[in-house]
Amino acid sequence: MKLLEYEAKAIFAEQGIPVPRGAVIRSPEELPGRIADLPPEFVLKAQVDVGGRGKAGGILMADRTSGETIAGELFGKLIKGVPVREILIEERLAITHEYYASIAVDRSSKKALILFTDSGGVDIETLAKENPDAIRKASLPLLLNQIPQFMLRDLLGSAPKELGPVIQNLYRVFISRDALLAEINPLVTTPGGPFAADAKLIIDDNALNRQGITQNRDLTEREREAEKHGFSYVELAGSIGVIGNGAGLTMATLDLIEYYQGKAANFLDVGGGADQERVMHAVRLVAADPSVKVIVVNLLGGITRCDDVARGIISAGISQPVIVRLAGTNEEEGRKILDGSGYRMMDSMEEAVQAAVEAVQ
């Protein structure tokens, strides 16, 4: 789950990373009461999770007289389609140079990958393509509880030594918060020392519980409903509903729909143990999306009981047609149950998908 800038900065500050003085407001009227501790000129930053927020007009300069009006304008804006519900007011920093520092989970090395560059404030992915030599890298096995000094020296190169402790503390954030990514861009130097001018923190969804986070905000309402049942669900733009067991098989079903020039409405992986009850909930959930015109159910498993699955589909009692591919125990019985109720059971996923694509044409 992605945290907002102000949430990430609060966590960075706890671990000793200097962040600008600031306050969060949820309406323009709150502004006058929150700027007493700030210098006369400050920055208003829309708390929206979009890339290129500054260029999209999400960061505005203001002062004591203009603050409330400018905050009002910002609250009325959509930043890349996202409404502004919270604004972070921050002191303006006297920046002498911008750097970049991040720590991320690296799949290939299975270690923490630390990146540092003195070309901060840029899009790191663009920099990686255009000037990869400008990025210094280090890999750290998570068995180490801090970054060794030699590694910090290598990362910093000729950059000021005062940035070392910031990166060291960023690793503490990374470890203590089960982060997939902890990023400071830009990490700035000022006459008053270094600051995290921006902050990004992504928490591992599988660690939300032990991080005390009860709800994953990155999910839509229907995705959250699906999660309650133990399903993985992703909303898409087409009209063919898809239910499968296993992420790979469900993705392959979506891909086949595209192969036969159809468009899937969703991805729903029922996970393990597709019994009558779970299948019923899955079918109802997918059918509740008004854009769904037909549903493909593709279940394959050694221990999945096809008769149970067939009963689950029927008991969902939905209006859209359901085309079923089932392989497992009691296949014949499942087929009889479905045939008797007007549902179509196909022998392969290709046939099931083709039939669904034809049904919506």
Catalytic positions: 100, 183
User: Applying CB under 8 A, which of residues 33, 55, 81, 125 lies at the interface with another protein?
Assistant: 125
Q: Which residues pair with 102 in a beta bridge?
A: 115, 183
- Told to check if 333 binds another protein by CB under 8 A, we report no
- Told to check if 87 binds another protein by CB under 8 A, we report no
Name, in order, each residue with C-beta under 8 angstroms of 333's C-beta and a sequence gap of 6 or more.
Answer: 306, 307, 310
Which amino acid is residue 130, in one-letter code? E
- Give the torsion sign (CA, 349, 352, 358, 361): negative
Q: Which CB, 162 or 347, lies closer to another protein?
A: 347
Question: Closest separation between CB of residue 7 and another protein, Å?
Answer: 19
* Residues 118/215, Cβ–Cβ less than 8 Å: no
- Told to check if 255 binds another protein by CB under 8 A, we report yes
Q: Quickly tell me which residue has 């995290």 as its tokens.
A: 196
Question: Closest separation between CB of residue 197 and another protein, Å?
Answer: 21
- Told to check if 81 binds another protein by CB under 8 A, we report no
Residue 275: CA atoms inside 13 Å, Cβ hemisphere, count? 4
User: Applying CB under 8 A, which of residues 95, 251, 287, 360 lies at the interface with another protein?
Assistant: 251
Question: Closest separation between CB of residue 269 and another protein, Å?
Answer: 4
- Give the torsion sign (CA, 53, 55, 56, 61): positive
Residues 172-231 that bind another protein (CB under 8 A): 175, 178, 180, 204-207, 210
Question: Closest separation between CB of residue 95 and another protein, Å?
Answer: 26
* Residues 127/97, Cβ–Cβ less than 8 Å: no
User: Applying CB under 8 A, which of residues 234, 285, 313, 322 lies at the interface with another protein?
Assistant: 234
Residue 61: Cβ within 10 Å count: 11
* Residues 230/207, Cβ–Cβ less than 8 Å: no
- Told to check if 61 binds another protein by CB under 8 A, we report no
Distance, C-alpha 144 to centroid of its chain:
27
For residue 126, give the 3-state DSSP assignment. Answer: helix
- Told to check if 36 binds another protein by CB under 8 A, we report no
Q: Of the listed pieces 11-19, 70-78, 101-109, 276-284, which binds another protein according to CB under 8 A?
A: 101-109
Residues 276-315 that bind another protein (CB under 8 A): 300-303
User: Applying CB under 8 A, which of residues 28, 194, 244, 334 lies at the interface with another protein?
Assistant: 244
Name, in order, each residue with C-beta under 8 angstroms of 233's C-beta and a sequence gap of 6 or more.
Answer: 222, 223, 225, 226, 227, 266, 267, 268, 269, 285
Q: Which residues bind to another protein, rule: CB under 8 A? A: 105, 107-108, 110-112, 125, 141-143, 175, 178, 180, 204-207, 210, 232, 234, 236, 244-252, 254-259, 264, 267, 269, 300-303, 327, 348-350
